[in-house]
Structures are given as C-alpha cells and as structure tokens.
Chains A and B, each alone.
Chain A
Amino acid sequence: MPEIVLKLEKICKSYLGNMVLKDINLELQKGKIRALLGQNGAGKSTMMKIVSGSETADSGKIILNGKELKKLTPMEANKEGIGIVHQEFAQCLDLTVAQNIFLGKEPLTGAKMVDRKKINEMAKELLLELKIDLDPEATLRNLTVAQQQMVEIAKGVQSNPSILILDEPTAALTLQEVQNLFEFLRHLKARGVSIIYITHRLQEIEQIVDEVTVLRDGSLIGTKNIEDTSMEEIISMMVGKSSSEQFPKREQRDFGEEVLHVENVGLDDRLTNVDISIKQGEIVGLAGLAGCGQKELAEVLYGIRKPTSGTITFAGKKLEANVRRAVENGMGYISESRKKDGLFLMHSIKNNSSIADLKQFERGGLISQRRERRSVKEVVDSIRLKYTSLDMEAQYLSGGNQQKVVIAKWLCKQSQLLIINEPTRGIDVGAKFDIYSLIHDLARQGVAILVISSDFNELLGICDRLYVIRDGRITAEMNNDEITEEMLMLTATREA
C-alpha cells in the first residue's frame, strides 16, 4: 500500500453564494508529483489556498498524515510541512533575496536581532542547491520577474516541506530555468516530498508529473496516471461537454467594411509580426494562455503602449500611440480589471457612463443635465442594467452590472470598435449570459468587437472568428465553425 500523506474529504467552498468548489475528494501519495489541471476559474488556486491555510473551506476535511487539520492558518500549514509557491507572489520588493526567503523565520542572534550573516549564508546554500544563480543580498526590486519567481520557489521549499504546492511556477521562466526547476523537483521527489503542480502548460506535465487531476467548474472530474492517458483525454476532461445553453445562439450576420487593420506590429520581445483585421459587426476572439501577449496587443491597439514596429489603421486612419486619439476616433477599451481602471467606483452610474463623451451634452459650454440623463437612461436601459437610480454609485453594483456600466460608457460614446479583455471575469454564471447577449446586440448594430479571453469555451461561444496568440505571435486564424475547443486548446499550447 502506498503511503497517503494528504487526503481531502468533501471540501466545499463558495464566495457570495457562488459555488467554487463542490465536494472535492483527493488523495496524494508520498513522493509523487501530481498535476492539477483545469481552465481559469475551475477552482485550482482556491483548492490549494484551502490546503495551505490562506482560505478556509465551508465544509469538508483536510487530513494530513492521518491527522485532521482544523482551522488551518498559513503559519500552521507551514509548520505541518505544507509549502506553497503562490501564483501571484507576495513579496517585499525592497528587502533582499535572503530576507524574503526567510521572512518571518529569520535566524536570531543572542541579542534577539536578525543574524544578517547567517541569513545570507543560509540563503546562499539554498540557492546553490536549487541551482539558482542569485546574490542573496540583491534587492528584489532590481530582479527580473523570472528571478523573483525563483525567489518565491526558494521561499516555498525553505522549510523542507513534506508537501510542496506550486501554482503556475513556470509562467515567467525561460526554458533553462524550467529545466533547473524540474531537476530540483525530481530531487525533492526522490527525498519523498509530495508535490502538487498547477500549470496551464500541458506540454510540461509529461516531463515531470506522475499523475494528473482535472478540475472543472469547481468539481473534480478525475485523476489519471500519466502513462494511462493522452493529451486528448486530458483536454476533453478539462473542457467538458459544450453546453449550448451557456451562450446565446450565434446567428449568421453580414459584416461591413474593415474597421481595424493591424500590420506587422511588434513590441520589444512581447509581440512579433502581428497581423489582424476586424470588420464592422464582427466579433473576433483572441485566444491564448495567460501571458502570451494578448494584453500587450490590446494596449498597443488602444495606444497605451507604443509599438516598436508595424502600423495600425483604424477606420481608415493610421493611429499613433495616443489613447485620447483612439477614444476620439471611436475605439473603446474594457480591461480585465474594471475596478482598477474601468470605473469610478465612488461616482454615479450617470457620471461613469457619460464621461467619455460629455461634449454631446454641452449647451453653451455647460452640460445639460436633462440631455445627459435622457441619453444615459436610454443606453443603460437598452443593456438591461439593473439600477434604482442613475445617481447610484458604481461601487454598490454587482460585478455583472458594473461591467455593463463600463460598456455603457462606450455606448454613450458610440464607439465603433470595442476591445474587451476577459469580458466575464468575476461575473456569476447567470450574468455572463447577459453580457454575451449584449456583445451580440452590439455586433448586430455594426460595432466591431475584439474579445480577449483565456476561457476558450467562452470565445467559441460568442466569436465569429478567432486568432490564436502564442508567445507574442499570431499562430493561427480560424473561423468558429471550423474548430472545437480541444483543437483550440491544442493550438494554443503546442510548442511552435
């Protein structure tokens, strides 16, 4: 009998009535590397946060080496031998590498002061073991993202955990760094450490993983030995059956003239030779794994970043990198973080909606409240926004309604092209359908739409045509009718 080190029993978790984990049962053996796979929002990170104590499950048991852990805190989890490398690192940028690795566990001198010499020696030893070429005394702020990631990994293994959780550790790493990491993981495995490895990069798992567990929509779909399964099977487990009722029915539309023409656009090493084109009334998807350049491309199109090469033609005019010019010409951008840069949370629905084009309400230099209200009301009613008063502050709206307010802003401006990054992030399932129908309505009115999403199911559900982006290059272009989600996933993950 193999030794079971970690056992999860019927773990459930919901946020604001939204079930994100449903009855998760899991067993992890000693000295095995387990991949945890699933699409964005499948619940992988939440599950690992529960295991490492930074989130608490609503119900269910966590059993470590036969002992049930109750009211787990990150500190206790660490003491029990659970180490975690978070996807979004929580680091102190102004401390050194060594100080970050041993944060909260600093070796002390006799006078209860931090033993600087010792901390640096310990860090040096650890980095050497990990084959990480870093100065323990370097300040984190001066390191590259990849180097910061390596520090985070060192921090995770520093306490000699018996279970190590890695949440997308390779997203920022180069090929060589990935190989070094893998070698170290094998070394840990040989020492009997069990590893849970979350990744989006499917091609990695065959190199390093023993078993695969797939999550989908908060449920555990299954666990397979890596020898007994295929990439195709894993992907179909991740994707599931396409449920047609998730999306409004797509209809055949005639597209108008070309609105956006992007030729040969490059941005340092983030984007290379990007060519795309969008017509009036067309919904075009940009599919790619996280960090493959889709955000950068959106920002280049909108003028937030200046491309290092190539041309962008919008509505017949060549665009320079200038956000104001892009807005004036009729481009609207809906970022993936509406609270950060899409909304004025403390301002009213009315003021949020009208801000991009106040000129149309001006009479003799003053804004006509009557015209503004009438116009905004028309727009927000047309997109079925739920509100009690136009003076209600945006912060009190639900995620889905907040997203609608951002869309209303660009409708008041009568934008011709909308770039929507992650249109339904943080929006519950019911409201998603509403946002999708809204996108269809806009397209029917002739608005060109570029949807960026890491949820391929979503892209296939709403787009007419798709581009696949990988490492800053457009690697494929296809019409929606020609493809399945499995094919899309394969194209997006395959090594070029």
Chain B
Amino acid sequence: MGNNQTTLAQNFKKAMGGKSIYIIAIIFCVVLAFATPLFATQQNIINIMLQMTIVGIAALGQTYVIITGGIDLSVGAMITFAGCVSIDLLLRYGMWVAIVGTLALGILFGFINGFIVAKARIEPFITTMAMSMIIKSIMLVYTDGYPRYVREGVTEANPNFGDDFLQIGGGKVFGGLPVPFLILVIAAVVLGILLSKTRFGRYVYAVGGNKETARLSGINVPWTQIRVYIICGLTAALAGVVYAARIGTAQTTMGDGYELKAVASVAIGGTPLAGGRGSIDKTIVGALIYTVIANGLNLLGVSSYYQDLATGIIILVAVIINERSLRKQ
C-alpha cells in the first residue's frame, strides 16, 4: 500500500516536473473563488484579462531578454514614451501611423539597448537603467510634462475621432472577449513559437546557457542579444499603445514600475534570472498569478497598505515552491 502510494506520488511529481507553476495558479484561483463570490464572475474574469494585458505584453519581451541572461529595466520608460508618442501621432496622422510609428520607436530603443549590451559589453542592468533615465528625460522634454488625450482630436466635422484607436484598448470581439486580451494572446502565440520552434529561439537559449559555447558553436552572439532587446522594445511599445488606447490618455508616469512588474511576472513563471531556461507560457502564467493576487486582494477588501506586503510574500512563496520542484527533477 505504502509503496503504491509513493510511486503514485512520484509519478505525479514526474509528470508535473517544472510545471508546478500551473498548479499554483489553479490553487490561487480556486481559493479565491471560495473566499469571495465576486471572484468567479464573468465581469471579474474580464477584469483580470484586462488587468493582465499591459504587464503580460511587456513581460513577453522581458522573457526573451532574461533567457539570454540579461534584464531590461527601461521597459517602464518605453511604455510611457510609447503611450505619449502614439497619441501624438494619432492626433496628427491617424491610427495606423500611430501604431506603426510607435512600434518602430520601440524597436529603435531596443536596438540601442541591445547594441550597448552586446557591443560595448556593458552590464544589461546598468545599460537599461541608464537608458530608462534617458528615455524618461527625453519624454519629459518632449511632452513638457502635459498629458495627452485621444479626444483632443474631436472636432465638429469629425465627432468620432479616435474611436478606432480606442477600440484597441476597450473593444470587444467574439461576444465579449476584450481586444487587448486578444492582442496579448496573439503576441504570446507568435513570440512563443518564435522562441520554441525557430533557430533564433534556440540561439536565445544558447546565449543564456553559455555565451562562450554559443560563440564557439558558430552562433552570432551579439546579434542574438541585439535582437532580444529589439523584441523587448517592441513589446514595451505595444504595451504602451494598448495602455494609451485603454485609458484614452497618456501622461508622464503611466509606465512607472512596469519594468519590475514584467520581471516579476517572468520570475513567478519560473524563468530563472540567470538565463538559459524559461518559456513564454510560463511567463503568461506568471503574469496571471501576479494579476490574480492584486485582483483577489482588492476583492477581499485588503487595505492598500497591506497589499504590497501580501504580494511580496506570495511572490516569494510561489518562486520558492517552483524552485524546489525544479531542483527535485
């Protein structure tokens, strides 16, 4: 009997090896569903989808960077810049220019980050922290500190100005699925396939696993690094556009703190900051857990003074459990 039980438990552990983060996510949801009747309602589930969108998108690019053993602390600044620029471009040139132009800007910032990290070989932490300051400052000079509003473009001749753009953040498709969440899903699928099924994806893991081996195996290490920062800049810009479209405005602090929220999502998902391992699906689960914690604490009416305390503890516990299950493998 006892023997049987252990093998059963072992088999279960083996099957779930490295996947314990999914179990943690499910446990969280079940506990909250019992703790408050407000949790498992359709409205709240849509809320969670919306809440996890911005951090989720930003965390996708961050995952790539972290797997190469880097980190991008300029994500928050890039989100803010992208939000402001997208509305400016929208007011002048319309939605498509706003989207394409902003994403191009994200690519440019990402390229600069990657170029400095790969070619000047400056620590990613320092590089992107400095870039974060630079981007923030340029943004303050550029906006002069004033917020932007999508509806500024409304005139008598064009009373519906900005409706198309606001759909990106507030629209619904397929009978209720929020558009931003759909964007997150599409971005996650595309970036997930790129990471797990292509040569470039393998190189990302290789660079994070062992730079020297990667180089001697004929991999272009600097170019791989530059590309992951470009992807991170791109997802940060996309997050900024979606964010601006959701709230219809952009101001100079909107992206503050998102760099660490993105890192937290990646880490909760079980991707080690040392690089070489990790995946997009784990990051999505990480972002979900991060969002569900905040959402649940709100629903339970926990004072905002205590919320970060609870979040911090829950993150630590989740990461510890995940680490242990990995080590047991």
Residues of A within 8 A of B (CB): 302, 304, 323-324, 326-328, 333, 335, 340-347, 351, 354-356, 358-359, 362, 365-367, 409
Contacts and interface: CB of A to CB of B under 8 A. Distances in A.
Given A324-B218, A335-B216, A355-B219, A346 B277 contact: yes
Interface residues of B, number: 20
Given A358-B199, A365-B198, A367-B197, A342 B209 contact: no
A344 B198 CA distance: 18
A345 B216 contact: no
B219 to A, nearest CB: 7
A343 B220 contact: no
Interface of B: 193, 197-199, 202, 205-206, 209-210, 212-220, 276-277
A346 B217 contact: no
A367 B199 contact: yes
22 contacts: A302-B216, A327-B217, A327-B218, A335-B216, A340-B212, A341-B212, A344-B209, A344-B210, A344-B213, A344-B214, A346-B276, A347-B205, A347-B206, A347-B209, A351-B202, A351-B205, A351-B206, A354-B202, A359-B199, A362-B199, A365-B198, A367-B197
A221 B244 CA distance: 80
A370 to B, nearest CB: 12
A341 to B, nearest CB: 4
A341 B218 contact: no
Given A344-B209, A356-B217, A367-B202, 16 more contacts: A341-B212, A342-B213, A342-B216, A344-B206, A344-B213, A346-B209, A346-B276, A346-B277, A347-B205, A347-B209, A351-B205, A354-B202, A355-B214, A358-B199, A358-B202, A366-B197
B221 to A, nearest CB: 10
Nearest to A304: B216
Given A345-B210, A346-B277, A355 B202 contact: yes
B193 to A, nearest CB: 7
Nearest to B199: A358
B199 A343 contact: no
Nearest to A356: B217
A409 B199 contact: no
A358 B217 CA distance: 11
A215 B96 CA distance: 78
Contacts, number: 64
A360 to B, nearest CB: 10
B218 A356 contact: yes
Contacts of A333: 216
Contacts of A342: 213, 216
Contacts of A347: 205-206, 209, 276
Given A355-B206, A367-B198, A367-B199, A344 B215 contact: no
Residue from A304, A324, A344, A351 with most neighbouring chain B CB atoms (10 Å): A344
Contacts of A362: 199
A354 B215 CA distance: 14
Nearest to A346: B276
Nearest to A325: B218
A-B pairs, 6 with minimum CB distance: A327-B218, A344-B209, A341-B212, A358-B199, A366-B197, A356-B217
B218 A323 contact: yes
Contacts of B220: 324
A354 B206 CA distance: 11
Given A351-B205, A362-B199, A343 B210 contact: yes
A328 B220 CA distance: 12
B202 A323 contact: no
Nearest to B202: A358
Nearest to B210: A344
Contacts of A343: 210, 213
Contact of B217 (A340, A365, A409): A409
Contacts of B218: 323-324, 326-328, 356
B193 A366 contact: yes
A160 B212 CA distance: 43
Contacts of A341: 210, 212-213, 215-216
A354 B218 CA distance: 12
Contacts of B214: 344, 355
B282 to A, nearest CB: 15
A359 B202 CA distance: 11
A326 to B, nearest CB: 8
Contacts of A409: 217
A219 B278 CA distance: 48
Nearest to B201: A367
Residue from B193, B210, B218, B220 with most neighbouring chain A CB atoms (10 Å): B218
A345 B209 contact: yes
Contacts of B205: 344, 347, 351
A205 B178 CA distance: 82
Given A355-B206, A366-B193, A323 B216 contact: yes
A341 B209 CA distance: 11
A333 B215 CA distance: 11
B82 to A, nearest CB: 28
Contacts of B213: 341-344
Nearest to B274: A346
Contacts of A326: 218
A351 B217 CA distance: 12
Nearest to A406: B213
B214 to A, nearest CB: 8
A335 B202 CA distance: 22
Nearest to A368: B197
B206 to A, nearest CB: 6
Contact of B198 (A302, A324, A366): A366
Contacts of B206: 344, 347, 351, 355
Nearest to B196: A367
B186 to A, nearest CB: 18
Residue from B199, B209, B210, B217 with most neighbouring chain A CB atoms (10 Å): B217
A367 B201 CA distance: 10
Contacts of B209: 344-347
B270 to A, nearest CB: 14
Contacts of B212: 340-341
Nearest to A393: B329
A343 B216 CA distance: 10
A302 B217 CA distance: 11
A356 B220 CA distance: 11
Contacts of A302: 216
A4 B276 CA distance: 56
Contacts of B215: 323, 341
A342 B209 CA distance: 11
Nearest to A329: B218
Contacts of A304: 216
Nearest to A322: B218
Contacts of A328: 218
Contacts of B210: 341, 343-345
Residue from A304, A355, A365, A367 with most neighbouring chain B CB atoms (10 Å): A355
A345 B216 CA distance: 15
